[in-house]
Chains A and B, each alone.
Chain A
């Protein structure tokens, strides 16, 4: 009976633990902060064509991100015709909804969007743990009740991926592709707990 209890407890514990880090080798953190500089230039207007798939429905738009001053970003999403769908301000740890169309103004949608874009624009985050993988250094940071894992490519030293997790599950994955001159030309945001994918493609320079 006791063995049964112990094995059940063991099963629960292992199934609750985060599968991703199971075989990872932890190392001493070499950095105090992880830096994500993809939206950090004050002079840049970051403009991306967006394709969103939510539960099989597809729609497009334009994502605009601007860093106004240190620790302050504006994030606006419009249709291709330029009509605003939402307009958010992030200042340090405060979030303000300047505008959102009625159809999208639902708590769950606003929360999801707010967190996704917060993850994209957060620039300097305290490192909690570090892992040494074959091709990447992974830096774990604390995000409220969740964690973020930043994957830094050992060869190129660029940030390739962020994985947002709860204690036991992966929730969101952000992939940075076609990185050149400190800009990510392609960004994919994949939600694992809800059926939502966002694909961002940077406007080509004229």
Chain B
């Protein structure tokens, strides 16, 4: 009897998991990608707050840092941590402008391909438009609450650092809700966005160090 209850329970659990996340059909993928491309093309600017959770399996709790980000089309991004420390990085053309609690520095990305790749990913993940990147195998899922896209790194160098990217999208407006970067060790970084404002006017001065 107990065995039967167990099997029934297992069945119910597996159904509910299935129901939560289903793989999109080719036509759903087409519609979804069109939505993201349209949103991305119409996005001139974004500001948002974020909380970043760094999960390391051996730690008692995730490391939490938070701040805000600003994006201005076509590809300027400012990423600013305000808690528990002040640190900002501006991705602008071929440069990184860093302000580490008052210590400013510039890094030219010129030589490091991997560095460039990582930075492009950060920029593209803000708008979610990274489907055409050839260094990933992409799969699409939907749940009642959000759409989810899984990018598996096929670039060997990148895969050593980040094996999988997971992006969660708002079903209605196609906004990126969450980015998860999973390492080969299964440790991950999860970034959750909130208070997102699209197409407000952002001064160029925001993107200077």
Which residues of A approach B to under 8 Å, CB–CB?
Answer: 43-45, 47, 49, 51, 58-60, 62, 64, 66, 68, 74, 76, 78, 80-84, 87, 98-99, 101-103, 201, 203-204, 206
Are A206 and B64 in touch, CB under 8 angstroms? yes
The reply to whether the CB of B58 lies closer than 8 angstroms to some CB of chain A is: yes
Most central of A45, A49, A80, A82 by chain B CB within 10 Å: A82
Q: Give Cα A43 to B58, complex, Å.
A: 11
The reply to whether the CB of B100 lies closer than 8 angstroms to some CB of chain A is: yes
Are A83 and B60 in touch, CB under 8 angstroms? no
B156 to A: closest C-beta gap in Å: 11
The residue on A at minimum CB distance from B52 is A82
A98 to B: closest C-beta gap in Å: 8
The residue on A at minimum CB distance from B181 is A82
10 smallest CB-CB distances across A and B, nearest first, come from A82-B189, A82-B54, A60-B100, A49-B85, A204-B84, A203-B84, A45-B59, A58-B105, A45-B60, A74-B58
Interface residues of B in 58-85 (CB under 8 A from A): 58-61, 63-65, 79, 81, 84-85
- Please report whether the interface of chain A is mostly helix, strand, loop or mixed according to DSSP: strand
Q: Give Cα A16 to B59, complex, Å.
A: 45
Are B56 and A76 in touch, CB under 8 angstroms? yes
Instruction: Map CB proximity to A onto B178-190 as digits: 1 under 8 Å, 0 otherwise.
Output: 0001010101010
The reply to whether the CB of B108 lies closer than 8 angstroms to some CB of chain A is: no
Known pairs A76-B56, A81-B122, A98-B185; list 12 more (Cβ under 8 Å).
A44-B60, A59-B105, A80-B89, A81-B79, A83-B162, A83-B181, A84-B161, A87-B185, A101-B161, A201-B85, A206-B64, A206-B84
- Please pick, from A59, A66, A83, A206, the residue contacting B58 in the complex, using a CB distance under 8 A: A66
Are B100 and A51 in touch, CB under 8 angstroms? yes
A84 to B: closest C-beta gap in Å: 6
Residues of A within 8 A of B112 (CB): 103
Q: Give Cα A84 to B87, complex, Å.
A: 18
The reply to whether the CB of B118 lies closer than 8 angstroms to some CB of chain A is: yes
Are A64 and B63 in touch, CB under 8 angstroms? yes
- Please report whether the interface of chain B is mostly helix, strand, loop or mixed according to DSSP: mixed
Q: Give Cα A51 to B104, complex, Å.
A: 12
Are B65 and A80 in touch, CB under 8 angstroms? yes
Q: Give Cα A68 to B60, complex, Å.
A: 10
**Provided the pairs A58-B100, A83-B118, A206-B64 are in contact, do residues A66 and B161 lie with their beta carbons within 8 angstroms?**
no
B118 to A: closest C-beta gap in Å: 7
Instruction: Map CB proximity to A onto B160-176 as digits: 1 under 8 Å, 0 otherwise.
Output: 11100000000000000
The reply to whether the CB of B92 lies closer than 8 angstroms to some CB of chain A is: no
- Please pick, from A58, A76, A80, A87, the residue contacting B87 in the complex, using a CB distance under 8 A: A80
The residue on B at minimum CB distance from A47 is B63
B163 to A: closest C-beta gap in Å: 12
Are A66 and B59 in touch, CB under 8 angstroms? yes
A33 to B: closest C-beta gap in Å: 27
Q: Give Cα A66 to B185, complex, Å.
A: 17
Most central of B58, B89, B160 by chain A CB within 10 Å: B58
Residues of A within 8 A of B85 (CB): 49, 201, 203
